[in-house]
Amino acid sequence: MDKRIIKLEHYDYNEKGMVSDGEVSVNAIAKSITSDQMAELLDNYCNTFSGGYKRGVKTGEELQRSHRTLQRSVVVECVGIICGLADQEYTDARNERAVKLAKKIKELYEEFGAGMLV
């Protein structure tokens, strides 16, 4: 399997199985995606209920093989996403603890690395 290629599929109810929609390069997606599309992508990716934290750890382990500058960029992007979530005004029982954690991470970012990581 080439990790640089995403094979697109969807479930076909007539065929009662997965059907190929072709493939696209990860690079093409990365160069084309907007912030709102990235949010939608993450929303759908995390909505599979298959992994969560453990899958995130695996992703982090895979990123250890990336260029050191890109690792820094990934951390900055992820902290930015978390800080964006920290700014929401309303929560409920489903996201209250996640938003509290995001607020703590934002505090750490502002204390530790805002100038160094931007």
Q: Are 9 and 42 contained in the same domain? A: no
Segments forming the whole domain that contains residue 112: 34-117
Quote the pLDDT of residue 52: 87
Q: Are 48 and 98 contained in the same domain? A: yes
Quote the pLDDT of residue 116: 64
What confidence tens digit (pLDDT) does each residue in 43-57 have?
Answer: 999 998 777 899 999
Q: Are 64 and 95 contained in the same domain? A: yes
Q: Are 17 and 65 contained in the same domain? A: no
Burial of 102 (0-12, 13-18, 19+ CB in 10 A): buried
Q: Model's pTM, two decimal places?
A: 0.81
- Alpha-carbon distance 82 to 16, whole Å? 39
Q: Are 41 and 85 contained in the same domain? A: yes
Q: Which of 73, 70, 79 is nearest to 109 (CA)?
A: 79
What confidence tens digit (pLDDT) does each residue in 58-111 have?
Answer: 999 999 999 999 998 999 899 999 999 999 989 999 999 999 999 999 999 888
